[in-house]
Amino acid sequence: MNSFQLDESVTNESKAVEFLQKHGLIPDSKKCENGHEMKLSFGKVIRWRCSLRSCRKQIGVRVGTWFQGTKMPLKTAILFIYFWANKESSGERMKKKLDLSPSTTVDWNSLLREVCVFMEKQEDSNLERKEVTVEVDKTNFAQRSRDIHFFYEFLCKK
């Protein structure tokens, strides 16, 4: 799938949620704190709502996922992840294609690297230890008046 096909298949936030559910990034089902089944409610805000009238607990669709705490529309996040995975998430490109600020691009690049590190740790804890060489390349890519931003590239050789 290329970026145009992805953009056409994820036309709005509800389609984005369906796409993320299909790929296991948002759960297909959820239970409220009282143990009742919840249903997705698609309105101005997408959220899980308890189906019992007497309960009616609500929780945001991002809660409990690694999208929790993010504000970027899910459709934009999907496209950003696509570009990031294809090494096309530079500040200029994201400004042009997704209308994102450089600081948002830096934050999301960092978030996705953190997710990869987390997943690698999860995988390592499930598998027996193996010999691995990691090369680290540190690059200064943005320098504002007081802030210096570094990009770390990790290359894992097994």
18-77 per-position pLDDT tens digit: 999 998 889 999 999 999 999 999 988 899 999 898 998 999 999 988 888 888 999 999
**Dihedral pair phi/psi, residue 149, rounded to 5°:** -110, 135
**Dihedral pair phi/psi, residue 109, rounded to 5°:** -60, -45
Where is pLDDT greater, at 142 or 74?
74
pLDDT value for 150: 52
pLDDT value for 7: 82
pLDDT value for 57: 93
Q: What value does the mean pLDDT take over residues 123-131?
A: 55
What's the mean pLDDT when you consider all of the chain?
A: 80
Q: Please answer whether residues 106 and 100 qualify as being in contact, where contact means their C-beta atoms are separated by less than 8 angstroms.
A: no
Axis-axis angle for helices 102-126, 91-98 (nearest 10) = 110
Give the Cα separation of 4 and 8 in Å (integer).
6
Among the ranges given (4-8, 111-115, 150-154), the one the predictor scored with the smallest mean pLDDT: 150-154
pLDDT value for 133: 53
Q: Please answer whether residues 61 and 47 qualify as being in contact, where contact means their C-beta atoms are separated by less than 8 angstroms.
A: yes
pTM of the complete model beyond 0.85: no
Among the ranges given (24-28, 122-126, 152-156), the one the predictor scored with the smallest mean pLDDT: 152-156
Where is pLDDT greater, at 79 or 157?
79
